[in-house]
Amino acid sequence: MAAEICGASLFLSVKTQLQLQQRHHQQRAFFQSERSRTRRTTTRFHSSKRCFSCSFPNASTFRRSVVCQVASTDFESAAKAGEHRLSKVPVRNIRNFSIIAHIDHGKSTLADKLLQVTGTVHQREMKDQFLDNMDLERERGITIKLQAARMRYVFENEPYCLNLIDTPGHVDFSYEVSRSLAACEGALLVVDASQGVEAQTLANVYLALENNLEIIPVLNKIDLPGAEPDRVIKEIEEIVGLDCSNAILCSAKEGIGIIDILNAIVARIPPPEDTSKRPLRALIFDSYYDPYRGVIVYFRVVDGSIKKGDRVYFMASGKDYFADEIGVLSPNQLQVEELYAGEVGYLSASIRTVADARVGDTITHYGRKADKSLPGYEEATPMVFCGLFPVDADQFPDLRDALEKLQLNDAALKFEPETSSAMGFGFRCGFLGLLHMEIVQERLEREYNLSLITTAPSVVYRVNCVNGDTVECSNPSLLPEPGQRKSIEEPFVKIEMLTPKDYIGSLMELAQERRGQFKELKFIAENRASIVYELPLAEMVGDFFDQLKSRSKGYASMEYTFVGYIESNLIKLDIRINGDCVEPLATIVHNDKAYSVGRALTLKLKELIPRQMFKVPIQACIGSKVIASEAISAIRKDVLAKCYGGDITRKKKLLKKQAEGKKRMKSIGKVDVPQEAFMAVLKLEKEVI
């Protein structure tokens, strides 16, 4: 019986398998016919995604989602051309361009799609934010470093070499943008079709115009329900002044308009000048330190050509090396034998000293040197300063090496040694903004395994002395004595806030609270306004940007430029603990805010400093004048415990004796402020000042 059952079940299973195979063949034939039909009906520039499911019995067992080919015939031919991207093309067929936009307008997504469509990156290797290769960039969803990529595209049966440089969008990384634009002849101006022109859009356009670049306006995210291309085109023409009659509408996410963009890059961006016969001149626009290969230099060949094995000379540093390896970024490093005028590539020459190959330097041949170097880049001016100290004093040499290597990759970072009585040896570092400061600190901790303490951010003040000298001071401890000071000037910035009209009042109130001087209010569109203020940079290095976003529900944007130094009523606020001045806790504040800052600091220190055997006064002072004070009561022994009776004079005698002892201890005793107290107060200063 059991054998019969087993034989029947075996027969059924074999029969079932035959039926399943037959149905599977039917499904495959159906899917193939549908796929071929869909390919024939695909439009030239845009095709939609389709998914077919079978309607056979038991279809749920075999249902497979079949996604038809999204790319059109143009996409396929472009992808095939990308396989030969290392092949040489004439100089007239080279196009160097970058992508500029406000933050979150879709630069990285568009760069990803261009790499994918041109076949530079295969589908199996593709991932979101492909060019953002730092974990920090992926976590925050922002671009921090410029990235270069070489693509190949065939236009009208002629191959072209497209060198793309993707740029950051945040105002703190504008130095990266300016360096990228100096290596290009054109730029794609990407504007979100749902948000329109924003503050950094304008700033980046002005940078591009300063470099005489051909600008191609691109309206991204047209597939969103809230997209208003007509309104945004009108905004660009009125605010920026660009002719948008030939603006390209695209959706980088859906692949709409990508071929139009590639065609426009070839047709509208001019090629570089053919100067390959001249002596070699190559501009270094970026570099980084590899622990195995040394300094890796990214450069654009302006004149001449460079071959593998050539002896090259760095004109600014005066050092020479042999080019062990040259290649292109596509976007990974691919070795080539030669690069000539107009091309962008990288160089590895076993450079171990980071100072030998700086950003902005000119590379030339050692045997046939160029007459003069390229102009290079304007030095970045730090706007915000803070102290970086290692938690472990033994890590000070490691911190110095890490800063030198990071400065190679981030040319806007400046630093100099500093000593603090509370935190030991460290560095005073200059940054372009608060986000830049935060990113540098995180990169030092992640990439170099350092534990750091960061002091409150500050700015550089200019002190006019009585004797006529002018002293620049970024640290309160370096401020001259009150008798030697004639006046103190602080840096002011011109800030432009673009906001919907509903939030004009709250943003003007915010600027007034931060000692801002109103300059201009104008409506750039029916529902959007531009508010211009001049306010002290010191008022911006706190939570100004957070407050701007909070009060406008995330719709406002801002962009600022340095305008100069203006005299202000500033004072040095000292903190005294038990009569001794604690220099690391001193700050420079405006006279109107001195009391509130002093009050907050003394209250916080009272909570953090442990009690002593004597009373400890904590005072916030302007010179010798105390404006806020708190006291930590002494730890007292109950000397009256043994006095269960008797005359009151006996108790007074014991209390008097105890008070004399406490007074003597206070005069010779010292209060040790714990490290945790310094860190907590520094955090408080960041919030209050």
DSSP notation for 372-391:
S-----PPP---EEEEEEES
Question: Which residue type occupies 304?
Answer: G
pLDDT in the model for residue 41: 35
| Amino acid type, 213 | L
Q: What is the pLDDT of residue 334?
A: 85
- pLDDT value of residue 508: 92
Predicted TM-score of the model (pTM) = 0.67
112 neighbors 126 (Cβ within 8 angstroms)? yes
pLDDT of residue 617: 86
State residue 108's pLDDT score. 80
* DSSP symbols for 390-451: ESSGGGHHHHHHHHHHHHHH-TT-EEEEEEETTTEEEEEEEESSHHHHHHHHHHHHHHS---
Task: Give all strands (DSSP E) within 44-105, no chain letters.
Answer: 51-52, 66-67, 94-101
For residue 106, say whether it is annotated as part of any ligand binding site. yes
Beta strands in 234-375 (DSSP E): 248-249, 281-290, 294-303, 305-307, 311-314, 319-322, 325-329, 333-335, 338-340, 344-351, 362-365
> 491-568 — its CATH code?
3.30.70.240
Yes or no: say if 44 and 258 are a contact pair by the CB < 8 Å rule: no
The Cα 395–Cα 402 span in angstroms is 10
Under 8 Å between Cβ of 252 and 109: yes
In 3-state terms, what secondary structure has residue 513? Answer: helix
Residue 604, φ and ψ in degrees, nearest 5: -65, -40
- How many angstroms separate the CA atoms of 225 and 199, rounded? 23
Closest CA to 282 of 313, 303, 307, 309: 303
- pLDDT for the residue numbered 84: 58
Residue 421 annotated as binding site: no
Superfamily for 384-455?
Elongation Factor G (Translational Gtpase), domain 3 (3.30.70.870)
Rounded CA-CA distance 529/507 in Å is 11
Is 167 annotated as ligand-binding? yes
Alpha-carbon distance 426 to 416, whole Å? 9
109 annotated ligand-binding residue: no
pLDDT means over runs of 10, the chain (689 residues): 38 39 47 40 34 34 31 50 65 88 81 83 62 61 74 86 79 74 86 83 81 89 87 84 86 87 91 86 85 87 89 87 88 85 88 80 87 76 80 87 85 82 80 82 87 80 88 81 86 88 90 90 83 88 78 80 88 84 80 86 83 80 87 73 73 76 58 62 58
With H, G, I as helix, E, B as strand and everything else as coil, classify residue 66.
strand
Q: Where are the beta strands (DSSP E) in 245-310?
A: 248-249, 281-290, 294-303, 305-307
Q: Do the two domains 384-455 and 572-686 of this chain adopt the same fold?
A: yes
* Omega within 30 of 0 (cis) for the link into 610: no
DSSP 585: G
Kindly list the domain boundaries of the chain, sorted by start residue: 72-268, 281-365, 384-455, 491-568, 572-686
The stretches of 41-106 forming alpha helices (DSSP H) are: 59-62, 73-81
Q: Which amino acid is at 99?
A: I
Which residue, chain included where needed, has tokens 């040499």?
Answer: 397
* CATH number of the 572-686 domain: 3.30.70.2570
* Alpha-carbon gap, residue 287 to 267, rounded angstroms: 31
Question: Is residue 104 a known part of a binding site?
Answer: yes
pLDDT of residue 532: 92
Q: What is the pLDDT of residue 6?
A: 38
Q: Is 569 annotated as a binding residue?
A: no
- Which strands, in side-by-side order, build the sheet including 294-303? 319-322, 311-314, 362-365, 281-290, 294-303, 344-351, 325-329, 333-335
Domain topology for 72-268: Rossmann fold (3.40.50)
CATH superfamily, domain at 281-365: Translation factors (2.40.30.10)
A 10 A CB-CB count for 591 gives: 12
Residue 212: its pLDDT value, please? 86
Instruction: State residue 16's pLDDT score.
Output: 40
Residue 168 annotated as part of some ligand binding site: yes
